[in-house]
A and B are shown apart, each in its own frame.
Chain A
């Protein structure tokens, strides 16, 4: 398995199609049959997005980009919340690896405000705990954690062996909450059955996390924050400081972010999330469930937004203003856009001559591979191939396919909450007339059309890309930049193609909003124009073979 770089192939419908055929040849027949459905040429457009198989099991032994349910639950959703003591119940590894930093930026209000993000808590189960059960140890750990940190909330995460030996993390959480409450301590404790083997990717973990936050936290606080236009930002995780940029932008427009799920977030933000007037969804995959449930239970409508890319940011800001309908807000939004654009234009003018016409491939997340295409488009770059690591069909084909998605055994393992309007807290945010008026202006609620309609027909869409396919893609089409995660970074770079991480951001970020877009333009400019890729061959390796010796050596 060694890859030599060749001249890039022309990108045509035929070359893309033959690529697929060639790649599949290497697989055993069963594997090829399965992969052929997850891997397609984006031939049709708009309403006729082709059907892609997604959210299906990873093939054993095929080097996957995916992680597990625990990673999705603890790492992605709860990780960025600073004031919850997150205890991993299991052997040490899972807790250790999810002890992250850049992905979980946060900004406590004061010098002494709670911030548990730099800590990793684990029950560090040993053989004895596996044999005799770990519930006792978990209870003791919760007591010790409370004695040391006195947090307002604790969350427990189950790892693989915990599920197998039958430790009931939910019962332990319930018991311990009761025990501490009985001592007059105001604390909320809840647990997540997010064992790594549940579901087929991180996606199951997002779902489990959101369900529990919705069940145990949302709606528990009556505090209403001041503000004329109050929104929740859902599916924004403050990677590399993205949420800080968005918070600043909203603040300048006079929009109040009531809660973010879950970048730079706090327990209290979650608890009062039901008091906002609009939910804005960034990452559709990880959190559409919460928006749906909040709409049913509390009457908060949701819209899809995207703050990655200048055009998308502008569109999203105007959409929020349109929803609230006030001219004052609309004017403010336009003013903020006008303030930001000169710097964006200057940056584009600088970098575009060096990025125009270049190509990219993106294989990341369950929304990012879509969102970041906007930024590349702004730089004059084309996306040749894209796909998600843990998406479902609706992320590719749009929400309209949701009713037709088959529920398989792996999806059935993930609890679906039965949500009804809350008898006291349900309150429609818009009257029927207001909704009708918005509708007549073409305003779309719940409007996620998926990634495929936004991509050119001459592009490849690949779900759950693996290392072999990534290798072949790069060999044949030699993109100017490849975007994925840390695991993929260096095999791509060994082939002389720069790799940009988009799960966390390498050393860069933020990339959201206007300021973030400028950062991204400059980062990609750096990556696609660095001299380093020209150093890979020594001068003597570039020249034809020549053997010579000085005459006096032969003497």
Chain B
């Protein structure tokens, strides 16, 4: 059979310099995605226009939605003399032509390398009257040579809080939710659970309704969703903050804690049974709310599904690739199903903390688990060649490996450019857990049926 990744050898040689088939991308795209979660916000990329074009294309391919963003369109001159005049012109042009409530500026490796000071330029724009009254410009420093798309997201979350939160006035009784780098469907699910408990929330950011909007014949550059400026200004008055995902949300939550004394709990993403339990329990404690029967019912359904299909999970080997927050929660879920997550790669530089968390989750499974942070999909493929799993969970790029090695693939993470559903159906919460199980069972059984000789081709599973 003709292979796609035909040059990938089984033997692993250490590489110091060459990254092959990356399992991450750069900070600005994460910042752009986070910015879209503010209502009425136009993201702006301060650098040359290719970055902005690439980020808009990648996000559009993933969400199948319009993604608008401005760019400072640096040319050689601006790279030498600084991008101040480009940004000043951009701010003025964007407020005039596109009329946003907020412009969220993120930097690129170009503007960072030449040392543009965005807050100073924004200040100048304000003094020169280029920011209309009642409108806002927030910013985040997101050089592409630091971190990954996940840290870019985290930096913009912090940037929007820093730029818009106002000093404490009177308590609003709400809980801030920092949902992490997840799908709009996941943000909606997290809010739905809180609503069922009667807890009022401020979701920062909130892309639900923005990057999964309806088709109505009307194009809205600023769809109805998103956390509003008023909510962001008010988030210092909340009872507490639940930050989901250490890498995507901890910075913003800690900023609110130190600056405005809003206490924060940093949890894993609520993917799977245990992590969703932790979220619901945290909401209960922080907001002083009871968990309603409806939520217990959903939880019971998930547990029921796990027991009904356990025979297909037990000790099945899984290779995973994705973002650190996603992987920690997914691994926890797989272990709770008695599956064996054996190869785990994140492209993001996530440090010892990531490896430590995975080691802790998998310490009792009785199998040697390969874990790499700041790794790439070339390495993952080599691990897979050495010890073949029954299932791969990863983004669309994992399909090359899945096809070459003939292993079923469940698409999860960013980007998914060849399947639909991630925008609309959550994988967070108990219902999201049920959907993940559906996908995993579907992939495993489709494969079993494909390989079954006629005498074992079963009607009932």
| A interface residues with partner B (beta carbon < 8 Å) | 1-5, 26-28, 31, 57-71, 87, 90-99, 111-112, 114-116, 118-127, 129-130, 137-141, 143-145, 147-149, 159-161, 163-165, 195-200, 409-410, 413, 467-468, 471, 485-487, 489-496, 532-533, 535-537
Cα distance, A97 to B400, chains bound together (Å): 16
Query: A494 touching B22 by the CB < 8 A rule?
Result: no
Q: A64-B49, A67-B53 are in contact. Are A489 and B220 (CB under 8 A)?
A: no
Cα distance, A106 to B53, chains bound together (Å): 25
Query: A410 touching B76 by the CB < 8 A rule?
Result: yes
Q: Known pairs A2-B218, A164-B79, A495-B219; list 16 more (Cβ under 8 Å).
A: A3-B218, A27-B93, A58-B49, A60-B86, A63-B69, A92-B347, A95-B19, A95-B22, A123-B19, A124-B22, A126-B145, A160-B74, A164-B114, A196-B74, A467-B68, A535-B215
Cα distance, A472 to B220, chains bound together (Å): 13
Q: A58-B73, A130-B109 are in contact. Are A120 and B22 (CB under 8 A)?
A: yes
Contacts of B56 in A (CB 8 A): 487
Per the 8 Å Cβ criterion, residues 215-251 of B in contact with A are: 215-222
B399 CB → nearest A CB, Å:
10
Contacts of A130 in B (CB 8 A): 109, 113, 143, 145
Cα distance, A491 to B98, chains bound together (Å): 14
Q: Which of B13, B18, B44, B145 has the most CB of A within 10 A?
A: B18
Q: A164-B79, A490-B65 are in contact. Are A64 and B220 (CB under 8 A)?
A: no
Query: B53 touching A68 by the CB < 8 A rule?
Result: yes
Query: Does any Cβ of A come within 8 Å of B21's Cβ?
Result: yes
Contacts of A119 in B (CB 8 A): 5, 7, 20-21, 378
Contacts of B6 in A (CB 8 A): 111-112, 115
Query: B113 touching A491 by the CB < 8 A rule?
Result: no
Cα distance, A161 to B143, chains bound together (Å): 10
Contacts of A69 in B (CB 8 A): 50
Q: A67-B50, A71-B54 are in contact. Are A27 and B96 (CB under 8 A)?
A: yes
B112 CB → nearest A CB, Å:
8
B21 CB → nearest A CB, Å:
5
Contacts of B213 in A (CB 8 A): 494
Query: B113 touching A164 by the CB < 8 A rule?
Result: yes
Partner of A1, one of B9, B16, B99: B99
Query: A487 touching B67 by the CB < 8 A rule?
Result: yes
Interface size class of B (residues with CB under 8 A): 35 or more
Contacts of A532 in B (CB 8 A): 215
Q: Looking across the interface, which residue of chain B has its beta carbon closest to that of A487?
A: B56
Q: Mark B15-53, 1 if CB is under 8 A from A, else 0.
A: 111111110111111000000000000001001111101
Q: Looking across the interface, which residue of chain B has its beta carbon closest to that of A113?
A: B6
Cα distance, A219 to B145, chains bound together (Å): 38
Partner of A494, one of B19, B91, B218: B218
Query: B96 touching A140 by the CB < 8 A rule?
Result: no
Query: B219 touching A63 by the CB < 8 A rule?
Result: no
B356 CB → nearest A CB, Å:
22
Q: Looking across the interface, which residue of chain B has its beta carbon closest to that of A150?
A: B7
Q: Looking across the interface, which residue of chain A has its beta carbon closest to that of B98?
A: A1
Partner of A62, one of B15, B97, B378: B97
Partner of B49, one of A68, A97, A148, A491: A68
Query: A60 touching B71 by the CB < 8 A rule?
Result: yes
Cα distance, A5 to B215, chains bound together (Å): 13
Query: Does any Cβ of A come within 8 Å of B278's Cβ?
Result: no
Query: A490 touching B26 by the CB < 8 A rule?
Result: no
Query: B109 touching A160 by the CB < 8 A rule?
Result: yes
Query: Does any Cβ of A come within 8 Å of B75's Cβ?
Result: yes
10 A-B contacts, Cβ less than 8 Å apart?
A1-B222, A3-B219, A57-B73, A71-B54, A91-B143, A93-B51, A130-B109, A164-B113, A468-B98, A495-B218
Cα distance, A63 to B6, chains bound together (Å): 40
Contacts of B143 in A (CB 8 A): 91, 127, 130
Cα distance, A70 to B52, chains bound together (Å): 13
Q: Looking across the interface, which residue of chain A has its beta carbon closest to that of B111?
A: A160
Query: B15 touching A144 by the CB < 8 A rule?
Result: yes
Q: Which of A27, A148, A537 has the most CB of B within 10 A?
A: A148
B14 CB → nearest A CB, Å:
9
| B interface residues with partner A (beta carbon < 8 Å) | 2-7, 9, 13, 15-22, 24-29, 44, 47-51, 53-58, 60-61, 64-79, 86-87, 89-94, 96-100, 108-110, 112-114, 143-146, 148, 213, 215-222, 347, 349, 378, 397, 400
Q: Which of A93, A120, A487, A535 has the most CB of B within 10 A?
A: A93
Contacts of A410 in B (CB 8 A): 75-76
Query: B70 touching A63 by the CB < 8 A rule?
Result: yes
Q: Looking across the interface, which residue of chain B has its beta carbon closest to that of A410?
A: B75
Cα distance, A147 to B20, chains bound together (Å): 13
Query: A197 touching B90 by the CB < 8 A rule?
Result: no
Query: A494 touching B215 by the CB < 8 A rule?
Result: yes
Cα distance, A243 to B24, chains bound together (Å): 32
A113 CB → nearest B CB, Å:
9
Partner of B57, one of A140, A413, A487: A487
The 10 tightest CB contacts between A and B, nearest first, are: A68-B50, A93-B26, A61-B90, A140-B17, A491-B66, A61-B93, A91-B144, A1-B221, A97-B54, A124-B19
Partner of B50, one of A28, A114, A148, A196: A196
Q: Looking across the interface, which residue of chain B has its beta carbon closest to that of A493?
A: B215
Cα distance, A494 to B216, chains bound together (Å): 7
Contacts of A94 in B (CB 8 A): 50, 54
Contacts of B218 in A (CB 8 A): 2-5, 494-495
Cα distance, A64 to B51, chains bound together (Å): 12
Cα distance, A377 to B400, chains bound together (Å): 40
Partner of B19, one of A1, A121, A490, A537: A121
Contacts of A66 in B (CB 8 A): 49, 53
Query: A487 touching B19 by the CB < 8 A rule?
Result: no
Q: Which of B48, B213, B218 has the most CB of A within 10 A?
A: B48
Cα distance, A90 to B87, chains bound together (Å): 24
Cα distance, A145 to B78, chains bound together (Å): 34
Contacts of B76 in A (CB 8 A): 197-198, 409-410, 413
Query: A61 touching B89 by the CB < 8 A rule?
Result: yes
Cα distance, A467 to B66, chains bound together (Å): 11
Q: Looking across the interface, which residue of chain A has its beta carbon closest to that of B64?
A: A490
Query: A144 touching B49 by the CB < 8 A rule?
Result: no
Q: Which of B19, B20, B26, B50 has the most CB of A within 10 A?
A: B50
Query: A61 touching B44 by the CB < 8 A rule?
Result: yes
Query: B53 touching A165 by the CB < 8 A rule?
Result: no
B385 CB → nearest A CB, Å:
14
Contacts of A57 in B (CB 8 A): 73, 75
Query: B397 touching A99 by the CB < 8 A rule?
Result: yes
Q: Looking across the interface, which residue of chain B has its beta carbon closest to that of A412?
A: B76
Partner of B217, one of A61, A159, A198, A496: A496
Cα distance, A59 to B90, chains bound together (Å): 8
Partner of B20, one of A2, A120, A195: A120
Query: B18 touching A87 by the CB < 8 A rule?
Result: yes
Query: B69 touching A200 by the CB < 8 A rule?
Result: no
Contacts of B49 in A (CB 8 A): 58, 64, 66-68, 196
Partner of B18, one of A118, A144, A486: A144
Cα distance, A280 to B421, chains bound together (Å): 45
Q: Which of B71, B78, B79, B217 has the most CB of A within 10 A?
A: B217
B4 CB → nearest A CB, Å:
5
Q: Which of A70, A97, A99 has the most CB of B within 10 A?
A: A97
Query: A116 touching B7 by the CB < 8 A rule?
Result: yes
Query: A92 touching B19 by the CB < 8 A rule?
Result: yes
Query: A147 touching B17 by the CB < 8 A rule?
Result: no
Q: A144-B15, A148-B7 are in contact. Are A60 and B90 (CB under 8 A)?
A: yes
Query: B96 touching A28 by the CB < 8 A rule?
Result: yes
Cα distance, A471 to B77, chains bound together (Å): 31
Contacts of B98 in A (CB 8 A): 1, 63, 468
Contacts of B72 in A (CB 8 A): 60-61
Query: A197 touching B79 by the CB < 8 A rule?
Result: yes
Query: B110 touching A164 by the CB < 8 A rule?
Result: yes
Query: B219 touching A491 by the CB < 8 A rule?
Result: yes
Contacts of A485 in B (CB 8 A): 57
Q: Looking across the interface, which residue of chain A has its beta carbon closest to that of B72?
A: A60
